[in-house]
Structure 1
Amino acid sequence: MPVDGDAWTEQPEITLYSGSMLRPAIEATITDFEQREGVRVTRVYNGCGILVAQMKAGQVPDAYFACDMEFMNQVRSLFPESENVSQNELVILVKKGNPLGIKSLLDLAKPNLRVGIGHEKQCAMGWLTQKTLTEGGVKEEVMKNVVVQTPTGDMLVNQMRSGSLDAAVAYLSNAAGSAEFLDAIRIKGIPCSVATQPFGVAKDSTHKHLAERLRQAIRADSSKERFTNEGFQWVGEKPH
């Protein structure tokens, strides 16, 4: 009876697609995994909207770590089971000390404010921002002040630090490495401002077992600390 195993190669290699915001939380874990297993993990980091478009065009990785459940659901036929690993909340990034006194989403509609957000079609952050602005009843007012829409939160952080933006809506994890330059203002009372990150193994991967071991490594206790240090919340949920 045939054994359901991975395809044999001298040095196994798997490809992981991952939302850019997850990179700081998983890079060290993946490097440790490569050394321990004697394998290579090719990482492709980008906005999840861009990654989903690539997968729908036929470029399917062995595993996919999405920024939000919405962008896993869009390729559910490729990843029938996924496991939620972490959560990340949208925040308003402002200059250190909050000199403009921004306290809420509505404050982003103040005259002459330069606001940056994620691109709705290119990343989960952008999609979630639009949903949050709509639920908060301030979308039309705030969008008048939006001067840039980017595929990743890191780009917004860079523009905040360079002084080309007065405020940005990004993930709390995006601000983790810039605490000396930026403050993060929490968005209160809007549940949809929290994103959940699921990890899935492709049903047609030729290295399912290896990809599954990578998932286990990312779910391990040693990985948990790396996530929380980067501003994520750790969640435990069985595959679904």
Structure 2
Amino acid sequence: MNRLSLTTKLLLSGGAALVVLCLLLPGSPLFGERQASSQLTLYSAASTRKPMEQIVEMYRTECGVSVQTQYGGSNTLLSQLEIARQGDLYLAADASYVAFATEKGLVEQVVPLARMTPVVAVPKGNPLGIRSFDDLLEHRVALANPDQAAIGRVTREVLEAAGKWKTLDGQIRNHGVYKPTVNDTAMDASLGSVDAAIVWDSVARQYDNLEIVRLDELSAGEGLIAVGVLKFSKDPAAARHFARYLAASDRGLAVFAREGYAVVEGEAWGE
């Protein structure tokens, strides 16, 4: 599927009205609703694991609700949701996946959270001097599978537009490695199993022994992290409550910002 503009991704609903709760203003369906469930189930992109683990614990302590979280590639999780049709929320590393989920009748409300940019992660000091796309082609590169994870799909799309995807794909298949998630590729770069990894900038910042190289060829790519409330949630009010907590400027968004994500504008938390 061709890449959609961010606005189109969030508004696309496959014929049904998609409620986009960008500003979370008082009077919206998220306000005035308290959680009733003692546990929620969240399917979350692996790239958000570090902030989400903190937010989930904060929410349990503050609101008394546990959030059981399953991490994986955005597309892999979407496929699981299509089959299982169970759970309460779906958090993807790119809003297009939530838009696809809405088209498929899985999601009814969407809340955007933060933006990420694809970059090259290399060992601290960049010992191999990787500074350009051509440099990258001379080394072992890791990338998350484009059919499983948002970073892989975004990378493939921007490089296809630049006419450079086939070259990189060949290099990875012959001398590098495809992994299930962006976290796996970043770990490979951190351990020295590969010379470089294409990852989200926010993920690269989580490793003290890695540094970021920005390439012009990847600069057009972007991942818009968004969470969707699933239509088959057994307690949609509780799911919306947690979504609002995620998008509160002094709760979820504050954690995302502290971990290096470029967060959207949000309102302060309040019951």
TM-score (norm: length of structure 1): 0.87
1:113-151: CA deviations, max 9, x gaps? 111111011111111111122123221222222121111
Count of paired positions? 229
Distance in 2 between residues matched to 1:237 and 1:195, nearest whole Å: 18
Question: Deviation string for 1:160-204 (max 9, x for gaps)?
Answer: 12222111101112212213x111112336554111011111123
Residues 66-107 of structure 1: CA deviation (Å, up to 9, x unaligned): 110121122112113212111111100112111222223332
Q: Is the 8 A contact 1:128 1:192 kept in 2?
A: no
Q: Decide whether the 8 Å contact of 2:113 with 2:253 is kept in 1.
A: no
Alignment of 1:15-94 (within 5 A): 15-76=41-102, 77-94=105-122
Aligned twin of 1:159: 188
Residue in 2 that maps onto 1:185: 213
Shift of residue 7 of structure 1? 10
Letter of the aligned partner of 1:49 in structure 2?
A: N
Determine which of 107, 117, 124 is the counterpart of 2:135. Answer: 107
Cα distance in 2 for partners of 1:104, 1:80 equals 42
Alpha-carbon RMSD = 2.2
In structure 1, how many angstroms separate the alpha carbons of the residues matched to 2:111 and 2:132?
Answer: 32
In structure 1, the gaps of 5 or more residues are none
Distance 1:71 1:105 in 2: 27
Contact kept in structure 1, 2:82 and 2:106, CA below 8 Å: no
Q: Match for 1:107: what amino acid?
A: D
- Structure 2 gap segments, 5+ residues each: 1-32
Does the C-alpha gap of structure 1 residues 100 and 53 become closer, same or farther in structure 2, counting only changes over 3 Å? same
Provide TM-score, normalisation by structure 2. 0.78
1:199 partner amino acid: V
Distance 1:159 1:199 in 2: 28
The amino acid across from 1:221 in the alignment is S
The share of aligned pairs that are identical, in percent, is 26
Query: Secondary structure, in 3 states, of the residue corresponding to 1:204?
Result: coil
